Structure formats: structure tokens, C-alpha cells
A = this chain, B = another copy of it.
Amino acid sequence: MPPYDPSTFPPFAVTVDLVVLTVRRHALCALVVRRGETPFQGRWALPGGFVRTDEDLGSAAARELAEETGLCAHDPAKPAVGNGAHLEQLATYGDPARDPRMRVVSVAHLALAPDLPAPRAGGDANSARWAPVEDLLRPGTGREGEPATPLAFDHARILADGVERARSKIEYSSLATAFCPPEFTVGELRRVYEAVWGVVLDPRNFHRKVTGTPGFLVPSGGTTTRQGGRPAQLFRAGAATVLNPPMLRPEV
């Protein structure tokens, strides 16, 4: 290894990009912001920014998340509580051509949050929105929403990786509760799985599975809320973080 004289290694810009997912109106949605500058001016992109000099990668991601959404990321070790979101590192993207201006390495992070009122990107409500990932990843179809154009940079790929991570991770972990408010019903949790996976699950088998897994859900005493029919029991996330045996996605 050569010595660390700055003239002997190429300098890189390091950024964090965020895949922030939530479930809104039965659909898995991601937070996107509109780019104000070239390149990709006017296109939608994932939120992100430079890592500061004395900042850890996870801290930079948490800071960006707070700036964009007001969410406070919390330690994955501690149980989800309050207005906190799950935040984890996703992957790092460093293709030399991914940014036409210069060499940028982006450490992408994945954040899962309960349904939020509305994003706020630096006060400009028009420049940030929740968009169904289905629309973002299948561009050109141009539905009612705006993102008929693909995401800027390699953000479509990053988003796809984040979505796939979320889809697979709720199989064998209790992470789906990160999409729920602190108290939720089994039906609400089931609708999270259905939205993330894009499938329909049997309510009876789902109920048996989640209530039968020790440590997954703990009854919160509060016994009811309404969403239409018979009142349901309220739960909060338990201490268990892994699901064993896992909740398997239905086959293709």
C-alpha cells in the first residue's frame, strides 16, 4: 500500500443517497426530490448529499433523512418507538460514469418509515413527493403522476435494490413493523406485507403466524380501533428482530 500522500491517490466525492420507503394507500412509495440543477435538471432523484469531513456514513444518512422528512433515525438495536425510522446501509455505487461531472461514490441507505403526512424538502413542498415505486421503476408509462421519466443518475437501480432489500428482509425479520405507527392492528400489518410484496395474503393464516411467533407482537392493552368491521386488538412491535421460521413470500 502506498503512503497516504494525497497526491498518490485519486480524490473521490462521497455522498449518501436515501431510499426512503413507506406504505401509502396500499402502495409501496418512495421519497423523491426534484433536481434543481444540471445534470438531470427537473428530473426526480433520490434525496442525498455529501458526507461531511467529520461525519460517519450512518450519521450523514441520518442527517439527510432528518433534513428531508423530519424523521429521527434510531438505532436498530433498540425497539422502534416514537417518530423514528429504521435506517440501514444498503450498498455503495461507484461506477466511474455514474455522475458526468466527476467521480462520485454514493453510499446508499435504506430507510423505512410509517406513513407520513407530507414530505418537506427544504421548505419547498413542490420539490419532494412520495411516488409509488411501481411507477418509478416502470417509467415511460406516465400515469396520472409526473414521473414519466426515469430517475436521475443510477437512482432507478439504487431504488430497485432498496425495494428488493425491503421485500426480502420483511420475510425473516420483524422489519415490517417499521412501516407501522407505534400501535397497529394485525390487519394493518398484513396490509403492509401485501403492499410491499404486491400480493394478497390470507387474513386467517397471517393472523395465526404473527400472533404465534413469540416476541414479534405484544398486545398493547388498548383493545380496539376501527377500520371498518369488528374492532381489532392493538399491538406494538415486540423485542424479536428475527422471524424464525420466516414468513415466506407466496410463490410466483
**A residues apposed to B, CB below 8 Å:** 1-4, 6, 9-14, 35, 37, 48-57, 89, 91-96, 99, 101-105, 107, 244-245, 248
How many chain copies does the complex carry?
A: 2
CB <8 Å contact, B9 and A4: no
**Residue of B with least CB distance to A48:** B1
* Residue from A13, A35, A101 whose CB has the most chain B CB atoms within 10 Å: A13
CB neighbours of A248 from chain B (8 A): 244-245
**How far, in whole Å, are A55 and B98 apart by their CA atoms in the complex?**
12
With A92-B89, A105-B57 in contact, do A12 and B11 touch (Cβ < 8 Å)? yes
Contact between B56 and A96 (Cβ–Cβ < 8 Å)?
yes
A92 and B16 alpha carbons, distance in the complex (Å): 11
- Which of A9, A54, A96, A244 gathers the greatest number of chain B CB atoms within 10 Å? A9
The 9 lowest CB-CB distance pairs between A and B, nearest first, are: A11-B11, A57-B94, A10-B53, A92-B92, A4-B101, A12-B14, A9-B50, A9-B13, A92-B107
> Beyond the given A10-B51, A12-B105, could you list 17 further A-B residue pairs with CB under 8 A, ordered by the A residue number?
A2-B50, A4-B99, A4-B101, A4-B102, A6-B102, A12-B12, A51-B94, A51-B105, A53-B96, A57-B92, A57-B105, A89-B91, A92-B107, A94-B107, A105-B107, A244-B248, A245-B248
Q: Given A57-B105, A101-B4, A102-B6, does the pair A14, B94 have CB atoms closer than 8 Å?
A: yes
